[in-house]
Structure 1
Amino acid sequence: MKTIALDDITIRTQLLPGDLGYVAYLHGDLYTKENGYGLSFESYVLSGLGEFGHDYDPGKDRIWMCEHEGKKVGFLLAQHRPAAVQLRYFIFLPEYRGVGLGKKLMTGFIDFMKQCGVSHAYLWTTDEQLAAISLYTRFGFKLTEEKPSRSFGKPLTERRYDLHLPKEGK
């Protein structure tokens, strides 16, 4: 198999028809195969993506759609919230993990926060997402809440991580 280079992957920030449906499909497919999550997880993702689509404001929200050779291979979403931005739906096809794409998108996410003048971000994940958690914490996210959950077809722990950027000029 050909080695995938980070420079060969394009990142688009314009939301297009079909993007949100693809993200729901990718989550449902990969998280079932890799973590045993069921239809309840895909329903959860669909609900959140529906909310995002209805409230989408290109000045306050951003998507990063990663594409390689005409194929959608990964995604990240920044959703505006009161006084914060929520990081959501961060996912890559397995063969695109480990090439530096996660770091590139996290840098883009933080740059977007600064561009919008937002200093607080948060995300929810599960205790099973160890690689993602490692990336989040390297970028300054701190664990702020944990709660047991059976929402995704099996028992696990949902975790909230928060990021507070220093105010500009301080």
Structure 2
Amino acid sequence: MTPSLHKDYLPGSIGRIAELHARYYSELVGFGLPFESKVARELAEFCERYDSERDGLWLVLQDGQIEGSIAIDGSHAGQGGAHLRWFITSERMRGTGVGSTLLASAMEFCRSKQYHRAYLWTFEGLDAARHLYEKFGFRLVFQQHGTQWGAEVNEQRFEFQA
């Protein structure tokens, strides 16, 4: 069965997106409880104030299960730009093109809302994601070493400007 894209919240979204992040980043770089807690807390806050005229949340569904996500937080779009967040796919979806589909949906939303700037935070070493960001016009503008997630990484900020 082909994965489908769903826009907006579904019951279980917060927990599943937090789980996808926690499992992937724990295995990759050793992020633990502080990271998972922050993802869940900030995603829950985003969902509680979600405004479909300003914000976007897209979910990849496969056999009724959430297998990927991306969000655009437009609450500060007029200042620093729309914030691209919670972009992830499950192991079974990696390499299938759904990441590109998610990012295309988010960027089309930004265009439709006339968000001329968007940004995201990530860290060095996520080469497949970086390739997608750059394919969609994001450029690395800042980096610094950080340990806020429980492991030292080179944090990176990418920005898109139309």
TM-score by length of 1: 0.88
Distance 1:42 1:122 in 2: 21
Deviation at 1:102, TM superposition (A): 1.4
Q: Measure the CA separation in 1 of the matches of 2:119 and 2:110.
A: 11
- 1:164 paired residue number: 161
1:73 aligns with 2:79: no
Deviation of the 1:75 alpha carbon:
0.7
Runs of 4+ in structure 1 deviating by more than 2 angstroms, as ranges, are: none
Give the aligned partner of residue 113 of structure 1: 110
1:120 Cα deviation from its structure 2 partner: 0.6
Paired with 2:101 and 2:51, the residues of 1 have a C-alpha distance of: 23
Residue 9 (structure 2) pairs with residue 15 (structure 1): yes
How many corresponding residue pairs?
Answer: 159
1:7-48 deviation digits (Å, cap 9, x = unpaired): x11000021232112111221122112321111111221232
Relative to structure 1, the CA distance from residue 81 to residue 147 in structure 2 (aligned partners, 3 Å threshold; closer, same or farther) is farther
**For structure 2, which runs of at least 5 residues remain unmatched after alignment?**
none
**Distance apart, 1:152 and its partner CA:** 1.4
SS of alignment partner, residue 81 of structure 1: coil
Q: Tell whether 2:101 aligns with 1:101.
A: no
Within the alignment, does 1:54 sit opposite 2:48 as a pair? Answer: yes
What SS class does the counterpart of residue 74 from structure 2 fall into?
A: strand
CA distance, structure 2, for counterparts of residue 40 and residue 128 of structure 1: 20
Q: 1:130-141 to 2 correspondence within 5 Å? A: 130-141=127-138
User: Are 2:38 and 1:44 aligned?
Assistant: yes
What residue in structure 2 maps to residue 147 of structure 1?
144
CA distance in 1, matches of 2:151, 2:25: 12
Counterpart-to-counterpart distance in 2, 1:155 and 1:68: 34
Higher Cα radius of gyration: 1
Take 2:41 and 2:125, find their aligned partners in 1: how far apart are those partners? 22
What CA RMSD, in Å, does the superposition of the two structures yield over aligned residues?
1.4
1: CA distance between counterparts of 2:135 and 2:33?
Answer: 31
Alpha-carbon distance between aligned partners in 1 of 2:154 and 2:132, rounded to the nearest angstrom: 18
